[in-house]
Amino acid sequence: MFLTMALGFLFASHLGPVKFGDYSYLVVIFTSLIRFVDLSVSKAYFTFLSANNTNNKNLVEFIVFAIGQLVLFLLVIIFIPNSYLIELGVGDDRILLAVVVTSLFIQQRLWNFFSYIIEYIRATFVFQKISTKITMLHFVVICLLYYAEYLNIFTIFLSILFSWSLGIFVFLSNKVRINEISKCLKGNPYTKIADYKEYCFPLIPYSILVLIYDVSDRWLLQKISTAGEQGYFALSKQISIVSLIATTSILNVFWRELSASKNDLIKINELAQNTTISLFLFASFLSCFVIPWSSDLLLYFFGEEYLKANLTFMIMMIFPIHQVVGQISSVILLALGKTKLQMILGIVSIIFNLSVSIALFLFVDYRILDTVSSEVIAFKLVVIQLVSTNLFLFFLRKSHGINVIGFSQFTIPILLLFISYLCQIIIQQFGVSGFLFNISLCGFLYFGVFTLLLIKFPSLLGISVKQEDFLRGMLIKCRKLLSF
């Protein structure tokens, strides 16, 4: 995770806003298209696999289907008219596009497929070792290209293609593991194509909406914004997800705990509140500390050309704060078996987002606005995230009496942001010259004030008496892990 993020920052710094924007746009567009043409067949296969309802014939059929998708993509790239490629905003370099599609397909489609197969035969640790080695190989190749001054968009995708293709070759060359997979699938029943149709067809309209949602904002920036706006937005979004590092792993544990307590609403309410306040405080703590230092961070790590991204960066740092709450609310609905309600609320959020995007496009088309900047897109995402999250919270409160978080979702970030700015002012008044020294000193002061609030005035951080005991227990566990 950290190596991947480091590479992203290296790409941004080396390529510059315009080229980095082109790179990130290619990744978003083709990743979304690859996910869409799958038509939820992967989800169906992995669902049937988990239920032991697929055999070796199904495995071969799935691989043939996946390779067929890649061939179809490449044929489209070869024969599609230039005008369509230009309209899509991906340029007309067909060799580059072929490398982009193949590399992303292998990295995200085939590699994910093998991860599920390995999970099925309970060899997760082996797969994680291979994945780590592939990421490290990719990191080394990129560093060599950088120092040899050959690092560009084309060579980045070539490195992805080389690294993950090598990983798949290593995986397939292990005959013992292949035989183990074949043995595990041998006794399972065959899943008919009709079963896949029954699973996948209802999801196609939703997949279309998700595709349009995924690409709409980036397409707007690519087509009707000034040069560099795509890069400003991509970098800001990439930095903002640092606050979500802890969320991904904890949510999996949270889901299992919820599923085990499915019929106990009191326990679910307690779990939801404890987990939400912990992750919300973590995300708020990081985001609110970074915001006052945004321009200094951009200048120090990425150079003057990224200073125009300052406002976009500040807005996007607010995004993960409520995304944490939205993810937890979504997990609660899924764990309770309310998949239909979860999908309806998700569709409502997507339609709301698309409606605003269409309105922005029309404003530019009718000359009401000159352009759509990265700041506008960032602000739109934050507002829609806030509205959709509270929509989820409202239905959880109404339908199950689960009160995940209240008004403190607004007071906590405001309080922490005020403390962060105050700490920055104090350090800049009495500190010495040197960005890294000042931000480190400010970090210690900010952490000290936050800890004081946590211990002496927890209610200011939206923490109830029960949650104090929960957080205290978590701090003791963290201390034991650190001492170990």
Q: What is the pLDDT of residues 204-220, one digit of tens each?
A: 888 888 888 888 888 88
Is residue 416 predicted with pLDDT exceeding 80? yes
Per-residue pLDDT, 484: 42
Task: Calculate the alpha carbon distances from 122 to 51, 111, 119, 181, 337 in Å.
Answer: 15, 16, 5, 10, 26
Mean pLDDT in residue range 433-440: 86
User: pTM of the prediction?
Assistant: 0.85
Label residue 424 left, alpha or beta by phi (over 0 means left) and psi (-120 to 50 means alpha). Answer: alpha
Q: CA-based angle 9:13:17, to the nearest 5?
A: 105
Per-residue pLDDT, 103: 94
Residue 470's H or E segment, with its range, is helix 465-483
Per-residue pLDDT, 442: 93
Residue 237: inside a domain: no
- Each residue's pLDDT tens digit, 137-180: 999 999 999 999 999 999 999 999 999 999 888 877 766 666 66
Please state, in angstroms and rounded to a whole number, the distance separating the CA atoms of residues 130 and 399. Answer: 45
Residue 330: inside a domain: no
Residue 474: inside a domain: no
Residue 299: inside a domain: no
User: Per-residue b/e over 103-141, b at no fewer than 16 CB within 10 Å?
Assistant: bbbbbbbbbebbbebbebeeeeeebeebbeebbebbbeb
Higher-confidence position of 337 and 19: 19
Residue ranges of alpha helices (H) inside 229-338 are 229-240, 245-260, 265-290, 294-302, 310-316, 319-335
Per cent of the chain over pLDDT 70 is: 83
Task: Calculate the alpha carbon distances from 147 to 16, 23, 140, 144, 162 in Å.
Answer: 17, 20, 11, 5, 19
Q: How far apart are the first and last CA of the chain?
A: 23
Confidence of residue 481 (pLDDT cuts 50, 70, 90): very low
- Each residue's pLDDT tens digit, 65-115: 888 888 988 998 888 888 888 777 777 788 999 999 999 999 988 888 777
Residue 26: inside a domain: yes
DSSP 70-104: HHHHHHHHHHS-HHHHHHHTS-S-HHHHHHHHHHH
Please state, in angstroms and rounded to a whole number, the distance separating the CA atoms of residues 316 and 306. Answer: 15
Per-residue pLDDT, 52: 64
Residue 50: inside a domain: yes
Please state, in angstroms and rounded to a whole number, the distance separating the CA atoms of residues 60 and 191. Answer: 12
Which of 7-16, 331-340, 465-474 has the highest average model confidence (pLDDT)? 7-16
Residue 8: inside a domain: yes
Per-residue pLDDT, 182: 65
Tokens of 113: 């497929």
**Into how many domains does the chain fold?**
1
Sequence-separated (6 or more) residues with CB below 8 Å from residue 27: 104
Residue 370: inside a domain: no
Higher-confidence position of 433 and 188: 433
Residue ranges of alpha helices (H) inside 123-244 are 124-147, 153-173, 175-186, 193-200, 204-224, 229-240
Range of the domain at 202: 1-213
Instruction: Find how far residue 302's CA is from the centre of its chain.
Output: 22
